[in-house]
Structure formats: structure tokens, C-alpha cells
Amino acid sequence: MKLKLINMMKAWLVVVASLLLWIIAVPAQAACSGCLCPGDPCNLCPLPAIEGAEPKADEPVICAKIKEAVPPTAFPRGSNENFDSLDQSVIECVKNGGDVIVNSRRNEEFPSKHYCKP
């Protein structure tokens, strides 16, 4: 009898702890802060620019300057040419007053690993 009571208390403890963690996590999932939020609030541009990608209508001046200095690349990620283009793009971003943001959670809206924030 004592063993059943202890097992039942453990089960309830797990359920209550799970509910508390879920309640704490819901607001964190709902509120997105920073530049990598849906809708691109910071108007980021990918580094290096990808060949064939459609330009944004409200593209920042920094992004246009980066594309002028470093042509968009069609090389796959991980190739030497891509790394060279990435390095040059990062240099141009910083030279024109932008900040480089590393994206560790890629998704459909933000597929690149590096972005320039104007």
C-alpha cells in the first residue's frame, strides 16, 4: 500500500511539474524579440547574396552596396568560393556600418546562416 502511494505521488509530481513548465514556456514562444522574427523587422539581407533571389522592394542601401561590391553567388554552402564570397560580404557589411548576425536556427524565412543588419 505504501509503495502504491509513493508511485502515485511521483506521477502527480511529474504531471504538476510538466504543467508548470508548459505554463512558463507558452509566453516565451508567443513573444519573439530580435531581428530574426517573422516579418523581418530589421530588414536583413543575407550574406553572401544568393544568385536568382528576388530583391526586396524596400531593400536597404547597405544591401545594395554589398551586392555591388560582391556579386551574388551560386556556389553551394561549404565550397571555397562561397567562403570567399561570405568573407567579402561580411567586410562590406561592416565597412558600410552594418552588423553581422549569425542565424543558428534556419527556417524558410531566414535560410542563410549570416545576415547583415543595416
pLDDT in tens, 49-73: 878 777 777 888 888 888 888 888 8
**pLDDT class for 95, splitting at 50, 70, 90?**
very high
Q: What is the dihedral of CA 65, 48, 45, 88, to 10 degrees?
A: -40
Q: What are the start-end ranges of the H helices in the chain?
A: 2-30, 61-69, 80-95
Report which DSSP code applies to 101.
E
Given a cut of 80, whether residue 28 has pLDDT beyond it is no
| 3-class secondary structure, 106 | coil
Residues in the chain, overall count: 118
